[in-house]
Amino acid sequence: MTDDAAPPASGALPSLDELLATARVVALPMVTRFRGVEVRDAMLLEGPEGWTEFSPFAEYDDEEASAWLAAAIDFGWSAPPPALRDRIPVNATVPAVDPDSVRTVLERFPGCRTAKVKVAGGDEPLSTDVARVRAVREALGPEGRIRIDANGGWNVDEAEHAIHALAPFDLEYVEQPCPSIDELAEIRRRTKYMGIPIAADESVRRVSDPLAVAEAGAADLLVIKAQPLGGIHRALRIIERAGLPVVVSSALDTSIGLAMGAHLAASVPGLDYDCGLGTASLLAADVTRAPLLPEDGSIAVRRVVPDPELLDRYAADEAHTDWWLERLGRAYAVLTSAS
């Protein structure tokens, strides 16, 4: 773990006992399957600055999860930077649904004029992606903005073919068309004449990656997520050093995690793109009765307090809770070894 991934802005870690004292684990159903997830697990913690979230995906190892814990501590135990705005414009997110379901999905994002559309999913042919993006364009009309997200699902040749097929729908940008930085640089070179920007998301996972992406000329913009990058303060340092425009996005967070992302987006000096922070609309349940759902195409920059009854209703079972508590301890050990 690098110096950038050292303990959070407050300078001192709370004790593990302090973290465990307020830890609550929830399992929230999704409206529709999203990137293989049907139930979103999260651990919530309460610090002196308010509630915060630790929710690395189950497949992430302890080293990677430790950055998510650093982010949770940063948001719960350190005051966020000064906010430059009090609302964040957000995009709608369209999972890999049937084209006939697109309008129903978009209705969950009132006022959003930008849509991120998932493509390159599983065994689906490109024709299905084309039909889905066409349905989004028809729903949004000519003034709506469409960005596509392949989650690194194409090789360079496949990406080039797909971008040509989807370009007629007037794409705002293409997010992570290929998995590696070298492949991103190559597809960006091949398609530069088309004027469609390339965004890096999955490549921005470790604190050194944004700089590598910028130095390789692999992307025109970065998709930044507060939790994987170790928190708001570290993400802002990365943004400054990378020198590229950014989109602040989420990782299927609860509204508490989305509040972290909103505070990051509020602190970014230039915010030229709608952010991917409207994803509470993908949850069939949340931990608060005042979720951070899009209103008139934006979400508020505010702290979120969970509702005790909802924490009980969606509490994970005992075995699952124990697994998360043990994971918290392992991630904490990684953080303490770096301090």
Per-residue pLDDT of the chain (339 residues; tens, 9 = 90+): 444 444 555 568 999 999 999 999 999 999 987 777 899 999 999 999 999 999 999 999 999 999 999 999 999 999 999 999 999 999 999 999 999 999 999 999 999 999 999 999 878 899 999 999 999 999 999 999 999 999 999 999 999 999 999 999 999 999 999 999 999 999 999 999 999 999 999 888 765 677 899 999 999 999 999 999 999 999 999 999 999 999 999 989 999 999 999 999 999 999 999 999 999 999 999 999 999 999 999 999 999 999 999 999 999 999 999 999 999 999 999 999 987
Structure tokens at 261: 């992302």
Say yes or no: 40 and 172 in one domain: no
Closest CA to 201 of 102, 97, 273: 273
Say yes or no: 31 and 147 in one domain: no
Q: What are the residues facing 299 on neighbouring strands?
A: 88
Q: Is 201 annotated as a binding residue?
A: yes
The amino acid at 257: G
Give the distance, in angstroms, between the CA of residue 121 and the centroid of all CA atoms in the same chain.
18
Cβ contacts of residue 138 below 8 Å, gap of 6+? none
CA 270, 250, 8: angle at the middle one, nearest 5? Answer: 80
Q: Is 86 annotated as a binding residue?
A: no
Say yes or no: 113 and 175 in one domain: yes
**Is residue 225 flagged as an active site residue?**
yes
What is the domain extent for residue 330?
3-80+309-338
Number of domains in the chain: 2
Say yes or no: 69 and 170 in one domain: no
Say yes or no: 129 and 22 in one domain: no
Long-range contacts of 134-138 (CB under 8 A, 24+ apart): 134/99, 134/169, 135/99, 135/100, 135/102, 135/103, 136/94, 136/102, 136/106, 136/169, 137/169, 137/170
Instruction: Give dist(CA 328, CA 72) in Å, integer.
Output: 11
Arithmetic mean of pLDDT over the chain: 94
Q: What's the pLDDT at 2?
A: 45
Cβ contacts of residue 237 below 8 Å, gap of 6+? 4
Give the distance, in angstroms, between the CA of residue 328 and the centroid of all CA atoms in the same chain.
21
Say yes or no: 191 and 131 in one domain: yes
Say yes or no: 302 and 313 in one domain: no
Q: What's the pLDDT at 4?
A: 46
Tokens 């979103």 appear where?
Answer: 40
**Is residue 192 flagged as an active site residue?**
no
Q: What's the pLDDT at 9?
A: 58
Say yes or no: 61 and 98 in one domain: no
Say yes or no: 99 and 52 in one domain: no
Q: What's the pLDDT at 136?
A: 98
Compute and round to an integer the Cα radius of gyration of the chain.
Answer: 19
Say yes or no: 301 and 324 in one domain: no
Structure tokens at 91: 């995009």
Q: At what angle do helices 156-166 and 181-191 cross, to 10 degrees?
A: 40
* Cα-Cα-Cα-Cα dihedral sign, residues 108, 104, 95, 297: negative
DSSP 252: S
Query: Which among 225, 234, 263, 327 is annotated as catalytic?
Result: 225
Instruction: Give dist(CA 103, CA 54) in Å, integer.
Output: 32
Say yes or no: 158 and 278 in one domain: yes
Q: What's the pLDDT at 91?
A: 98
Say yes or no: 212 and 139 in one domain: yes
Structure tokens at 138: 């028809």
Does residue 28 sit in helix, strand or coil? strand
Instruction: Give dist(CA 120, CA 137) in Å, integer.
Output: 18
Q: Is 220 annotated as a binding residue?
A: no
Cβ contacts of residue 330 below 8 Å, gap of 6+? 62, 65
Query: In a 10 Å sphere around its CB, with 0-12 CB exposed, 13-18 middle and 19+ buried, how is residue 132 labelled?
Result: buried
